[in-house]
Amino acid sequence: MDLTGKIVILTGVSKGIGLATAEALLAKGALVAGWGRTKPELTHERFQFFECDVRSEAAVQEALVNTQRELGAEIHGLVNNAGLGIAGEVDGFSSDDWHTMFDTNVHGTFYCTRAVLPQMKQQQLGHIVNIASIAGKTGIEKMAGYCATKFAVRGFSEAIFKEVRSHGIKVTCIYPGSVQTNFFDDIPGIEANSSMMQPHDIAGAILYAIETPFNFHVVDLELRPLQPKK
């Protein structure tokens, strides 16, 4: 897809992978609707921020209405990037933390995807990119809740791609390994470091998937650092 003038919704836009992806999309000529709870430090004539907590079905619907009013009816892309991870052993894990992760990582992805599909089906064109994690392919000790959410995103992505491909809509699920972002601030025993991948690396993979020709569909992308810190 040629991104020039195309409208792309990007959740979790305030920092890390989301901010890097916004910058990469803008560099390609896209109109970016950034959805999030915190406005990023990003000023560009083709970027517009819409306050949205993806955990709220009503907030997602309101953000879509506002986006279409301000930028136009067509929605060409959706990047479901909003997410968080909370570590802890299962037998001492907080139910509130469990629900917070599922509400954001899984329910938010569902709300946003469901919101854009009617317009994409009408267009017979669109691309949904779901940011999962390597934790959606393998279990990690003390990260059971986070793994459960990302396995859910994986299953959702695999099912929905088959559901909407006949409408000209692509669904790509991306599984990054460790990325040097603030994600690890609240993960005991792990510190973000330069041997991890960089946010712009993941943004580049997202662009690659979105810019493929119409009849070429990247379904899954697993991304890993080459030489992770031991």
Known catalytic residues?
146
Joined together, the tokens standing for residue 136 give 């959606």
Handedness of CA 139, 141, 144, 150 (dihedral sign): negative
Instruction: Give the count of alpha carbons within 13 A of 198, CB side only.
Output: 5
Give, as one character, the DSSP assignment of residue 12.
S
* Residue among 198, 187, 205, 96 nearest 135 (CA): 187
Length of the chain: 230
- For residue 24, the SS3 value is helix
Joined together, the tokens standing for residue 217 give 């569909």
Residue 134 burial (10 A CB sphere; 0-12, 13-18, 19+):
middle
Element (H, E) at 204: helix 199-210
Q: Is residue 117 within 8 Å of residue 169, measured between CB atoms?
A: yes
Three state DSSP letters for 152-171: HHHHHHHHHHHHHHHHCEEE
